[in-house]
Structure 1
Amino acid sequence: MTKRILFVCLGNICRSPSAEGVTRALAGSRDLMLDSAGTSGWHIGEPPYGEMRRAAGARGYDLDTLRARQFARSDFESFDLILAMDDQNLADIEALRPPGNDTPVRLFTDYAPETGADHVPDPYYTRDFDGALDLVETCARGLLASLD
């Protein structure tokens, strides 16, 4: 059975598309449906941020076909697991949870406790695209290991 996972950040142009792209690349032939979204609608229809695409591309991850979209209440029904990049994203997601819905919403960093990170820093603001990708790769490996 296909596992449906959604990655969510603020604008869906750095962290969540990189999480989607990295996880897809590392997943190999696993039966997964992956997507990403932002809690804001600022960048709907736009590709991931140029610096994020370049940093990911240097590691062999192709984010070029991804386009930003806004998280929707219907995503609770469409996905088996929703992963937020930070506490504010998680709170914004939970604020839209339909009554009675029990879709798990967790922090992506929950899958990399060894890092001590409690969130994926936003490289749009920190400018540390490689550092964000390092953490995303670690979280993605942890996520995939949890699915085995």
Structure 2
Amino acid sequence: MSKAILFVCLGNICRSPTAEAVLRRLAEQAGLPLTIDSAGTGNWHVGEPPHPPMIKAAKARGYDLSPLRARQINPEDFQRFDRIFVMDDRNLRDVMALRQSHRLSETATWPERLLDLVPELGLTEVPDPYYSGAFDQTISLCETACRRLITDLQGHEAQ
């Protein structure tokens, strides 16, 4: 059974496209048929590729972000995706506000923080490298959380 996963950050040019690319590779390696996408809460970068320094850092780690283009999350995403992962508390508030403003049903997907998948890290937010410049940290955090997500999904597939 295929699952659909959406990653959300602020502008969809650093963190969420990185998580998308990481999960795409891990799912392919694991043989899991996933639909994977990313979006931003804001519309500033719609249609643009990821931030060039993020593309460069990801490429150095073997991920190609260059084909991805930013888009903004929309109400239909709460029906299309089984899981929606946000990168920080601001994203969580913004996605919850969107969900509530459209009066979506209780069965519509609820957002989750990506790093809640790995509580042992002691972090709840993926810092925004657009401001911090910590592009490698973003990739590492996405890899750690996405590996856990793959393990969780494989566990559900076995049941």
Q: TM-score, normalised by structure 1?
A: 0.97
Moved more, 67-76 or 108-117: 108-117
Which consecutive segments of 4 or more residues in structure 1 shift more than 4 A?
none
Say which SS state the counterpart of residue 25 (structure 1) adopts.
helix
Kept after mapping to 2: 8 A contact 1:87/1:119 = yes
Aligned residue in 1 for 2:61: 59
Distance (Å, rounded) in 2 between the aligned partners of 1:112 and 1:62? 25
Matched with 2:157 is none
How far residue 31 of structure 1 moved from its aligned partner, in angstroms, is 0.8
After TM superposition, the structure 1 = structure 2 runs for residues 69-108 of structure 1, keeping only pairs within 5 Å, are 69-97=71-99, 98-102=103-107, 103-108=109-114
**CA separation in 2, counterparts of 1:67 and 1:24?**
15
Please give the alpha-carbon distance, in whole angstroms, between the structure 2 residues aligned to 1:101 and 1:33. 22
1:77 is aligned with what amino acid?
Q
For residues 106 and 69 of structure 2, the distance between their equivalents in structure 1, rounded to whole angstroms, comes to 27
Matched residue count: 148
What is the percent sequence identity of the aligned residues?
A: 54
Q: Which runs of 5+ in 1 are unaligned?
A: none
The 5 Å alignment of 1:1-148 reads 1-28=1-28, 29-97=31-99, 98-102=103-107, 103-148=109-154
Tell me the TM-score normalised to structure 2 length.
0.90
1:76–1:101 Cα contact (<8 Å) kept: no
State how far apart, in whole Å, the 2-side matches of 1:12 and 1:101 are. 26
Structure 2 residue matching 1:106: 3-state secondary structure: strand
